[in-house]
Amino acid sequence: MANLANNKVLFCSAGCKDSITNVKDVLRCNSETCQKVFHRLCITSNTLSTNEKSNWTCPDCKAASKKGGDNSTTPIRSQQVDNNITMRKKVTQQPQKPVESTASQSSPTSEPKMQAAVISDEIESSLTRELQLFRHELAGVRQQLSAININLEKLTNTVSGLDVRMTSLEQRVQVLEEQPVQPAGVPSAVKDLMDTVDRLKLELNDRDQELLSNDVEITGILETNSENPVHLAVLVAQKLGVELEPQDVVSAERVGVRRAPSDGAVLQGGDGAAGRPRALAVRLTRRVHRDNLLRAARRTRGADTSGFNLPGPSRRFYVNERLTRTNRQLFYKARQEGSRLNWRYIWTRDGRIYARRQPDTSSHRVRCEGDLEKVFGVLPV
């Protein structure tokens, strides 16, 4: 060990011929004529005690002593020495791997189970995140619905208050009409009350019309007892080239008085009054669907029910805005006056009634029967 202590470089006398840098790895031959040094792992894989190291003899000297002569110059290497050299190089050249846990040394069948557990955890985590997002969105929807309910309640209270006021005013007007003629000044008060009643009626009518802002009215479709109104509304939209799903329809129903008691009466009536089908009132989820239907109906004139699988011949159908009863009656009278006086344009837009004589003339809005006289002149009796 003196050479190592004096920082001299020693080389292994075995097959590896590498330098020896670690004192613990040194084995020195105890033979007086040899004094060779070796890596411990190049010679043996066993751990030697201090006494064994001091009495250790290299394989060459052992072989020479057995044969009775000095064969130190003969390169003799046993298979065990080669194996030890190879093992020593593997140990010195490759980094020592950490001891694997018991779980990593388990059978191969445990790996799919571990992968399945990891995948299950990832799926559970993804579902948890999706559920949290869904709950968050649901909370937002609930808040919006709560705000809508509050606004609807306010609107209902306002309408109820207007109804009460209008009823009170009508009662007062009725009392004044039943009273005898009063001195000057009283008729003006009555006129003011009548004007107030008319104004309140207009406001109520406008509010009712706003509630129909998502509605359309389809006329001309044959009515049967087994029909599906929502399906008919979707067929009409497809016929007009508008994309409409059943979930986009809030409600669809026939409105008005039914003239035919059964399917047979409807078919026998043909296009006559007895067989005239009732209008189909459709309420949509969004106003844009209603606007698309009305725009497509104005663009696609002459659409009929061919392909609807309805009995009898195909009929033309019409899609229009749904009006309140007051506006519907007013629109009918406006069209009659327009036809009598050759006014070319009588139409509705967003529940409002308009009239125009010629394309280059100004349009007039008709809100009440008093406006009919202002627009069309003195009405015939």
pLDDT digits (tens, 9 = 90+) for 324-350: 999 999 999 999 999 999 998 999 998
The residue ranking higher by pLDDT, 275 or 218, is 218
Rounded Cα–Cα distance for residues 312 and 310 (Å): 7
DSSP 166-210: HHHHHHHHHHHHHSPPPSTTHHHHHHHHHHHHHHHHHHHHHHHHH
pTM (global) more than 0.75 = no
pLDDT at res. 13: 74
Quick one: which of 224, 217, 236, 225 has its CA closest to 305? Answer: 236
Residue 316's φ and ψ, nearest 5 degrees, are -75, 140
Answer yes or no: is pLDDT of 282 > 90: yes
Tell me what percent of the residues of the chain surpass a pLDDT of 90. Answer: 38
CATH architecture of the domain covering 215-321: 2-Layer Sandwich (3.30)
Is there a contact between 63 and 78 (Cβ–Cβ < 8 Å)?
no
Helix axes 110-178, 186-210, angle to 10 degrees: 160
The residue ranking higher by pLDDT, 46 or 20, is 20
Q: Which residues contact 271 (CB under 8 A, 6 or more apart)?
A: 315
Helix (H) or strand (E) run with residue 280 in it: strand 279-284
Q: Quick one: tokens of 277?
A: 């089908």
Rounded Cα–Cα distance for residues 232 and 286 (Å): 18
What is the tens place of the pLDDT at every residue in 146-163? 999 999 988 888 888 888
The residue ranking higher by pLDDT, 352 or 269, is 352
Q: Quick one: tokens of 228?
A: 């599906």
Is there a contact between 299 and 287 (Cβ–Cβ < 8 Å)?
no
In the chain, the amino acid numbered 363 is: S
Quick one: which of 201, 215, 197, 212 has its CA closest to 159? Answer: 201
Q: What is the CA radius of gyration of the chain?
A: 52
Question: Dihedral of the CA atoms 128, 134, 140, 142 (nearest 10)?
Answer: -110
pLDDT at res. 180: 60
Q: What is the Cβ-side half-sphere exposure of residue 358, based on CA atoms within 13 angstroms?
A: 2
Tell me what percent of the residues of the chain surpass a pLDDT of 70. Answer: 74
Helix (H) or strand (E) run with residue 81 in it: helix 79-93
Rounded Cα–Cα distance for residues 288 and 295 (Å): 10
DSSP 212-262: TTTEEEEESPPP-TT--HHHHHHHHHHHTT----GGGEEEEEEES----SS
What is the tens place of the pLDDT at every residue in 289-330? 999 999 999 998 889 999 898 888 999 999 999 999 999 999
Q: Quick one: tokens of 199?
A: 């104004």
DSSP 91-138: HHHSPPPPPPPTTTTS-TTHHHHHHHHHHHHHHHHHHHHHHHHHHHHH
CATH fold of the domain at 2-93:
Herpes Virus-1 (3.30.40)
Rounded Cα–Cα distance for residues 326 and 234 (Å): 28
Mean pLDDT score of the chain: 79
Answer yes or no: is pLDDT of 24 > 90: no
